[in-house]
Chains A and B, each alone.
Chain A
Amino acid sequence: MSRTAYTNARLLDPASGLDAKGALLTEGTEIVDLGPGLFPDGVPDGIKTVDCAGHCLAPGLVDMHVHLREPGHEHKETIASGGLSALAGGVTSLCSMPNTDPVIDNVGLIEFVQRRAREAKGAKVYPFAALTKGLGGKQLTEFGMLAEAGAVAFTDDGLPVADSQVMRRALSYAKTFGLMISQHAEDLSLSGCGCMAEGEVATRLGLAGIPDISETVVVERDIRLVELTGGRYHVAHISTAEAVDCVRRAKTRGLRVTCEAAPHHFALTDIDVGDYRTFAKMAPPLRSEENRAAIVEGLKDGTIDAIATDHAPHDQESKRLPMAHAANGIVGLETLLPLSLELYHCGHLTLLDLLRRLTLAPAELLNLPGGRLAKGAPADLVLFDPDRPWVVDTSKFRSMSKNSPFDGRPVQGRALRTIVDGRALFTLDG
């Protein structure tokens, strides 16, 4: 089997706390050795050598919240194009959301997603399955059989599970298999026809607002249900200070509650909606500075376990509309690393703590094989320069969609090479 040595690297592994100059050796699809003392006398003959030039070598990023749009909306993104977009962003594993057309709610469709991902040879794809049939919010999907087929968690993402009884049963039944339920926490009756966060900006623009409370009430209710059922509950794209606080208290009480936050919720606020910028429209919406600061705080103190993009590709036609009619969501895979690194550059998180939220934490939440540098772990790696300055240019995105509010933003840090199962599938400018 082919062996590759990555030498002269800054090895970063949040699982072991390793942050040292050293080398790493892969054989086939696995990491077989690593450490500061590897190859003291140089790399032996017969091993391909990659000189990392002192750059960071870390576990490949794991993005637990991605919309791939296939099947159903292949003009926005396919499993293949999304996989390439992920690689360009340093992401080696991603979780696809089930709100496609048709909805991923049966074993056949889980197998379809996996087959398309295998054919595409991009990032690894771990599908989430729908929590209820057709995202209808009523009838549970076959958790056990879907999980056996490869579904890693269950969610009606895009739509919240509104019915308390359905949520109670989902949390309860999922315990049978130790599965996680992820919730898009939003009370749609409180959100109404809102198209941005409620507050001064929305009022000035004359737009109907989505209040913070529409997230909080659902998180509060669900945590009560977790207390009752002992289920495993995860808040997707958490965006309010109050909800972060609910999760913080639940964790203190020992409940099995986790959450993720998206980069736009710690990088932007409702002010960035500016003059009706539909590229800044997403669900949950960009919120106030107080909420943004609370997301940063939640990431710092570990209340927020993971950073995930909520990558939501849309074509131009879905966004070139009045704010009220524009589609929700932004693409995120190719800006995940630099935006997350802003937390490191601003001194909020150490590089290892940041990487934990981008790799190990989501992998552990979902029992995925990657997320660490260790002997026997999959050779899913990202080589990146945390300091490299560049300007986001959506026209260069690998994603089929360009709907990003970050176009033109000066950022720092970039993936130079992305390795999946020992093979370099992305090399910057190469």
Chain B
Amino acid sequence: MSRANSLTQRDLLGVEGLNPDSVAEILDLSETYVALNRDAQKKSDVLRGRTLILLFFETSTRTRTSFELAGKRLGADVINISVASSAIKKGETLIDTAMTLNAMHPDVIVVRHPDAGAVRLLANHVNCAVINAGDGSHEHPTQALLDALTIRRHKGKLGGLRVAICGDIMHSRVARSNILLLSMMGSQVRLVAPPTLLPTAIERMGAEVFYDMRKGLADCDIIMMLRLQAERMQGTFVPSTREYFRYFGLDEGKLGSARPDALIMHPGPMNRGVEIDSVVADDITRSAILEQVELGLAVRQACLDMLGTEKSPGGV
């Protein structure tokens, strides 16, 4: 069976390639899985007999668990391959790995890789659907989709909102996917970060840049915080953790310039006291951080449903 869907591509490699209709369709389908996941009986059999391979070249807890659970709840056979146990360590090239896995006739491969473009390279050498679970600083489409679902549930819409994305924009695939998706849906995206954490010409992607967090958050409906990775804090991109928190960490004071009903989001894992204050992160009236995790599972079920039930072309 193949569910009619408006995804023109076999793969989900990025938000680039989606359109407003396909986003709405994925989110609508996700809603049915949100409901199913809250039932006592969570199993579905849409992917029964299908094989899902999770190929992670980078460590991941929440994304990998989310995809694994999504696959299992849909009835698929799920295989986990992580870099520590893979032939990559033995010198196998990415393309050889792709062709080897392809010979086992999987239906979907979910890939995370530290290099931008690596997931597309792999997708070019397999017959099954490929979902990008994050490639370098390029894209992380299911994260942007789950963020969109979170926003839509809270604000009732994805357009006409003012969204601030704050933190390490330069190294963030989450930021890029969210800029693309939210701009496409008609929202206004602002980026708040010191210039050292902003890539050149990012404003050409349709976002407005702020170095002053209070100004950047002014009248915002949504605040998305990004994680600052430890190796970037030690004096090369920002001088210190405490200086970063003072000017770019989300606390009650800076939050005051956003709209009173502004929603606080974070893709996780959080560095409490670095980019976000615990009081703010744990405020259940404002923070959607745990809800993002729940909705992430539903979004991944929807994506697997739409792509994994396509009839795979035969042969290797």
CB-CB < 8 A to B201: which residues of A? Answer: 199-200, 203
B199 touches A202 (CB 8 A): yes
- In the complex with contacts A206-B136, A317-B93, A322-B200 CB distance below 8 A: no
Q: Are A203 and B117 interface neighbours, CB within 8 A? A: no
Taking CB atoms, residues of chain A closer than 8 Å to B176 are 204, 206
Contact B95 A275 (CB under 8 A): no
A205-B117, A206-B135 given as contacts; is B94 within 8 A of A321 (CB)?
A: yes
Q: Given A276-B116, A322-B115, A324-B116, are A202 and B94 also a contact pair (CB < 8 Å)?
A: no
Nearest 6 CB-CB pairings of A with B: A206-B138, A276-B117, A322-B115, A206-B137, A206-B116, A200-B201
Contacts A209-B199, A209-B200, A322-B116 given: A204-B136 contact, CB under 8 Å? no
Given pairs A202-B200, A203-B201, A323-B116, 4 additional interface contacts (CB within 8 A):
A198-B200, A203-B200, A203-B205, A206-B137
Q: Please, which residues of chain A bring their CB within 8 A of the CB of B137?
A: 206-208
Query: How far, in angstroms, from A290 to B120 measured CA to CA in the complex?
Result: 29
Decide if A325 is an interface residue (CB 8 Å cutoff): yes
Measured between beta carbons, the chain B residues less than 8 angstroms from A199 are 200-201
Known: A199-B200, A322-B116, A324-B116. A206 touches B93 (CB 8 A): no
- Is there contact, CB below 8 Å, between B200 and A205? no
Of B116, B117, B201, B204, most A-chain CB atoms within 10 Å = B117
In the bound complex, do residue A322 and residue B118 qualify as a contact, i.e. CB atoms below 8 Å apart?
yes
Q: Is the CB of A321 within 8 A of B205?
A: no
In the assembly, what is the distance between CA of A203 and CA of B16, in Å? 14
A320 touches B116 (CB 8 A): no
Say whether B103 faces chain A, with CB atoms less than 8 Å apart: no
Residues of chain B from 95 to 114 with CB closer than 8 A to chain A in the complex: 95, 113
Query: Shortest beta-carbon distance, A289 to chain B, in Å?
Result: 13
Q: Chain A, 181-203, contact with B by CB distance < 8 Å: what is the 0/1 string?
A: 00000000000000000111011
Report the minimum CB–CB distance from B169 to chain A (whole Å).
Answer: 10
Smallest CB-CB separation from A197: which chain B residue?
B200
Are B116 and A203 touching (Cβ within 8 A)?
no
The 8 Å CB contact of A203, one of B115, B135, B139, B204, is B204
Residue numbers in A under 8 Å from B280 (CB-CB)? none
Docked complex Cα distance between A322 and B138 (Å): 12
Main secondary structure of the interface of B (DSSP, over half): mixed
- CB A276 to nearest CB in B, in angstroms, measures 3
Is A323 within 8 A of B115, CB to CB? yes
Chain A 311-331: CB-based contact to B (< 8 A → 1; otherwise 0): 000000100111111000000
- By the criterion CB–CB under 8 Å, are B115 and A320 in contact? no
Q: How far apart are the CA atoms of A317 and B201 in the complex, in Å?
A: 32
Interface residue ranges of A280-327 to B (CB < 8 Å) = 317, 320-325
Interface set, chain B 115-159, CB cutoff 8 A to A: 115-118, 120-121, 135-139
- Closest beta carbon of chain A to B216's beta carbon, Å: 19
Quick one: which of B46-96 are within 8 Å of A by CB? 93-95
Check A320/B200 contact, CB under 8 A, given A203-B205, A206-B138, A207-B136: no
Interface pair B205/A322, CB less than 8 Å apart: no
- The reply to whether the CB of B202 lies closer than 8 angstroms to some CB of chain A is yes
B176 to chain A: closest residue by CB: A206
User: Which of A323-360 touch B at CB < 8 Å?
Assistant: 323-325
Chain A proximity mask over B187-227: 1 for CB below 8 Å, otherwise 0: 00000000000011110110000000000000000000000
Taking a contact as CB atoms under 8 Å apart, the answer to whether A207 and B117 are in contact is yes
B173 within 8 Å of A (CB atoms): yes
User: A153-203: which have CB < 8 Å to B?
Assistant: 198-200, 202-203
Give A196 to B99 CA distance when docked, in angstroms: 28
Q: Is the CB of A322 within 8 A of B204?
A: no
- Specify which chain A residues have a CB less than 8 angstroms from the CB of B173 in the assembled complex: 206
Say yes or no: B139 contacts A206, CB within 8 Å.
Answer: yes
Q: Which of A200, A275, A323 contacts B204 (CB 8 A)?
A: A200
Determine the chain A residues whose CB is within 8 A of the CB of B118 once the complex forms.
322
Q: How far is the CA of A199 from the CA of B200 in the complex (A)?
A: 5
**Least Cβ–Cβ distance between B115 and chain A, in angstroms:** 4
- The chain A residue sitting closest to B200, CB to CB, is A198
Are A325's CB and B115's CB within 8 A? yes
Q: CB-nearest residue of chain A relative to B204?
A: A200
Whether A275 lies near B200 (C-beta < 8 A) is: no
28 A-B pairs with CB atoms under 8 Å apart are A199-B200, A200-B201, A200-B204, A203-B199, A205-B117, A205-B138, A206-B116, A206-B117, A206-B135, A206-B136, A206-B138, A206-B173, A207-B117, A207-B138, A209-B200, A276-B117, A276-B120, A276-B121, A317-B93, A321-B121, A322-B94, A322-B116, A322-B117, A322-B121, A322-B136, A323-B116, A324-B115, A324-B116
Task: Tell me the bound Cα distance from A322 to B58 in angstroms.
Answer: 15
Contacts of B138 in A (CB 8 A): 205-207
- Chain A residues with CB under 8 Å of B135's CB are 206
